[in-house]
Structure 1
Amino acid sequence: MIFSLSWMGLSIWFSLPWYSDLADQIGGIYAYFLITMIAIVPGFMNAFVFISLLLDKRPPVIADQRYIPVTILIAAYNEVNSIEDTLASLMKQEYPEKIKIIVISDGSIDGTVDKVRSIAANNSNIELIYLQHNGGKASALNHGLSHATTDIVITIDADGYVFKDGIRNLVGRYLSDPSDTKAVAGEILIRNSRENWITKAQEWDYFLGIASVKRIQSLFQGTLVAQGAFSLYDRKVLLELGGWPEMVGEDIVLTWKMLNRGYRIGHAEDALVFTDCPNTLKKFVKQRQRWSRGLIEAFKENPLLLFRLRLTTLYVWWNTMFPLMDIAYTFGFIPGLILACFGIYWIVGPMTLFLLPMAASLNWLMYIRGKKMFESEHLHIRTNWFGFIFYVFAYGLILQPACVYGYFSEFFNLKKSWGTK
């Protein structure tokens, strides 16, 4: 914190002429908002992330512990092309205890039900719940929860392929973490990253950005999202909280309810699931719109979490900045980038290039952390230079406006639909 605040103070001092010059052009309030949300606040966050990654030493999983049976819930809506691979990955798990798999078909009409039934006929550990009408992901998971009897349940997306020791590593982290840990988020990686430019960029988003954020949040005793794509939950706590709320961001709202009750959320960086990310621009925008709406839902449902005295509260406050930063980026930085192309350097200019070495250092540190985890799992990082360049230099041009679209969708209460991501 001392380092990050010092960096922010230096940034403000260095930016004083910029504040003055921009205020002359567009007015003081707008200038101060843009510079603060485009440069100052993100700089503070990046400095905090950098130092935290340097200091983080994750405690190892306790080796000689007694594993316990688990129930896996898979909410499926028209997943006939992927559900077989998902179930196959679960049946190959190196887990010493029983794994019960419950597939909830949420009104599927594409053959998902027949596919699951044919697989379940040869495996007594697979159970199918057939819901005739589509009720949404939260409703489907709650139907599955009512059939679970084990102390812990794990949720997996219907197109997720769990690495061979994924369940063991996820449960191992839960059993090794402090006793107030009631959920553990797994590590989501991209399976279809070779399809096109948008999937190639998302591979780096998950491997570098999302993974590092979860690692650091766990370091400060509370990962903020135990994502539905691959996470473990204490069944009794789920029942205590009424299961998954029927909202577009059911996983983040549920996680914040747990944090609000004083529970801790962990992160297992070596519990890997490979999933299909959106492969079109339209699907990507809709996904990030849902995520942004989920963030606003979480604040609306758990406003008092901002005032709990715990380390995680810092990151909750950070989330209040994301809508403001995304708005500033969309309506300030992107227009500034266009102006710079015509030699008007109000917001973006030659000085912006001085940030590249610092951005490179942060991404390199994130990469080293991820590479070390991959090596421990005997995996290698595939070459993806185009995706990395696009991720660093152009990804935000799509991401931030998509997030702003989500915030306004929730603000104006536009129609919601459930997705598997």
Structure 2
Amino acid sequence: MTRRTYYIETYGCQMNEHDSEKMAAMLDKLGMSAASAPDTAEVLIINTCSIREKAEHKVYSALGKFKSLKTRKPDTAIIVAGCVAQQEKNKLLKKVPHLDAVLGTHHISELPRILDKIRAKKSRITSTDFVEDVQSLHMVAPLKGANPVCSFVTIMQGCSNFCTYCVVPFTRGPEQSRHMDEILEEVTRLAGTGIREITLLGQNVNAYGKDLARGYAFADLLRHLDGIPGLARIRFTTSHPRDFDDSIIAAMTNLETVCEHIHLPLQSGSDSVLSAMHRGYSFAEYLAKVDSLRDSIPHVAITTDMIVGFPGETEADFMKTLEALERIRFDQIFSFKYSARPSTAAQSMPDHIPESVKIERLSRVHELQDQITEQYHRSAEGSVEEILAEGIRPQSSQVFGRTRTNKIVNLEDPDLICPGELVRVRITEGLKHSLRAVRAV
């Protein structure tokens, strides 16, 4: 008997990727198997992101392509999940007649029940209300994801900061932390299956525990996770500068498995823009935390997010962002043009920046940061690093992995190296986006 098949298309952040892994695990448990392409699947799921307008447009484009497939195969179940589902709700069903269900961010675990309803042809379904107890969102945790060595672990859901440009509080709900015991159990189970590295996920991981009755802090969680048998590395993302404190710096400094890398979104170098964004810190306060971190861990890698063209951003404001890049010298940045999002305060602010100006400013940011990142990579030449081997590239048969500071390394002599192995390598060449290396003697 042929197994039923599914296809999941994912847009957005690591949390979306992890949600897709959870949905795949549920479908696998139902006896289904993953299809290699949408037109061979009986269940199509688009797991969506609404952080930027471009990602939202991709969703509607994909749904348009699936219309002809639904015409040819009427029994195909088409579901939109994730942040656009949460944002648009019933509007999606009205706009897309061939769509069967809209599954919000708090209802991933309901996927099997939703499929049963679709098969029974009872009705088209919307499930998008927020639940009060976040623990139910994590009842399904995949034994392993696509990477056999590294895994995501969600430690909290939602955000309560309401930055004026960000739709996350409206699509993921308020901050809610998972119980520490559940997280420890999940990580221990993953380590027992061969997972060597975990990345702790949350819209603001630094706020972990503030809503729990026992009053755990994020640094407490890191201390409890450190030393789990088989676990070699712990990463986490994303951190909010306002909640990044000395206890986290101490954990990064003293705990063996916590990697020397942090993603700490700055967003702008201008205090007036940061205030308009409702970020809750000044550039000087952000810089003081970076300096404190580097005093404790001189070789730490710091990455960040930047938004250009926020409403009211002057050329002088933008120049402060370029000056911030020069002063801090991030290892890497993820930079974006401001995009107006539904329900956010910035959408109705005056003085929106012309698209041509945003494009030009983004280009200047990319040009400067590319130079800085390449300088970091060139300066690594000749150094000895430890990488965690993650896999083998099919095209070149090269082993690839990452340093503790999250640099991608391609190994030129991969013989007898297995995924999951910690390998000491010598960097032979620093490229624009990665490093080349040989095994260190």
Q: TM-score normalized by structure 1? A: 0.29
In terms of fraction of residues, the more helix-rich structure is 1
In terms of fraction of residues, the more strand-rich structure is 2
Greater relative contact order, per chain length (Cα 8 Å cut-off, separation 6+): 1
